[in-house]
């Protein structure tokens, strides 16, 4: 028969004293600081269509939550087995639109795990190195950015002249699609600029038989 004293000998209550308050506060504070650092790097390197501030806040929360979970797991072997079973049934349905966002998610999770394991120098140094690498390579401006030129011409002759002019003014010119209607030819061409100068589009639009000429940036996912 369970007595009143046996209640206070419960393993649940004993687990309360198994954590050091100083360790918990220090781990969560470091997780918050590194999460903010990951968030700032994400802001500086984001190159998508529409920036989502909620995803940046998620990176901070994910770092702290991972730290909290790993702290609990490392304190109890039985709890770690139960945690694996509980997390195995979790499914996330949100689609990741930008491939680089996956790297930030894994970065936040890895920092939380390393911090909870007590490897503070590894977490801090690794985060700084990863952040610097991302800032350098993601923000590096490529000199061969692709563009799409949308041409509307009156006929085959004006189309040929416009395409020949584009081939002379650009480093690369490749036809991507072509739509033909009666009295109208619309051509989409992928071009690589020789230099950051788009004045040739003014001359292209004034050529005889060219109704309109549009130059848009192209990254393989969207036009804009």
In this prediction the pTM is 0.61
Both tokens assigned to 19: 């954590």
What is the SS3 assignment for 94-106?
A: CCCCCHHHHHHHH
Contact predicate 190/162, CB 8 Å: no
The string of pLDDT tens digits covering residues 3-51 is 545 544 445 445 555 567 787 888 889 999 999 999 999 988 887 666 6
Domain ranges of the chain: 4-138, 146-217
The string of pLDDT tens digits covering residues 161-178 is 888 888 888 888 888 888
Instruction: Give 161's contacts (C-beta < 8 A, 6+ positions apart).
Output: 207, 208, 209
CATH superfamily of the domain spanning 146-217: ACT domain (3.30.70.260)
Residue 224 has pLDDT above 50, yes or no: no
**pLDDT the model gives residue 4:** 47
**pLDDT the model gives residue 129:** 93
How much is the average pLDDT of 192-202? 79
How much is the average pLDDT of 125-143? 82
The string of pLDDT tens digits covering residues 81-105 is 555 555 555 565 666 667 788 888 8
């Amino acid at each position: 028969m369970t007595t009143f004293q046996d209640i206070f000998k419960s393993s649940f209550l004993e687990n309360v004293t198994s954590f050091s308050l100083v360790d918990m506060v220090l781990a969560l504070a470091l997780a918050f600081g590194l999460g903010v650092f990951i968030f700032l790097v994400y802001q500086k390197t984001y190159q998508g269509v529409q920036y989502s501030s909620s995803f940046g806040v998620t990176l901070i929360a994910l770092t702290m939550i991972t730290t909290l979970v790993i702290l609990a797991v490392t304190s109890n072997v039985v709890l770690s087995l139960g945690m694996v079973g509980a997390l195995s049934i979790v499914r996330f349905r949100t689609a990741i639109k930008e491939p680089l966002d996956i790297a930030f998610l894994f970065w936040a999770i890895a920092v939380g795990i390393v911090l909870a394991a007590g490897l503070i120098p590894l977490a801090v140094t690794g985060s700084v190195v990863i952040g610097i690498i991302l800032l350098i390579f993601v923000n590096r401006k490529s000199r061969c950015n692709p563009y799409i030129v949308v041409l509307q011409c009156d006929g085959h002759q004006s189309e040929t002249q416009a395409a020949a002019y584009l081939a002379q003014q650009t480093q690369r010119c490749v036809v991507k699609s072509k739509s033909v209607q009666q009295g109208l030819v619309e051509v989409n061409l992928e071009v690589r600029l020789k230099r950051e100068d788009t004045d040739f589009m003014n001359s292209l639009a004034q050529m005889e038989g060219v109704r309109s000429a549009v130059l848009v940036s192209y990254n393989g996912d969207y036009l804009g």
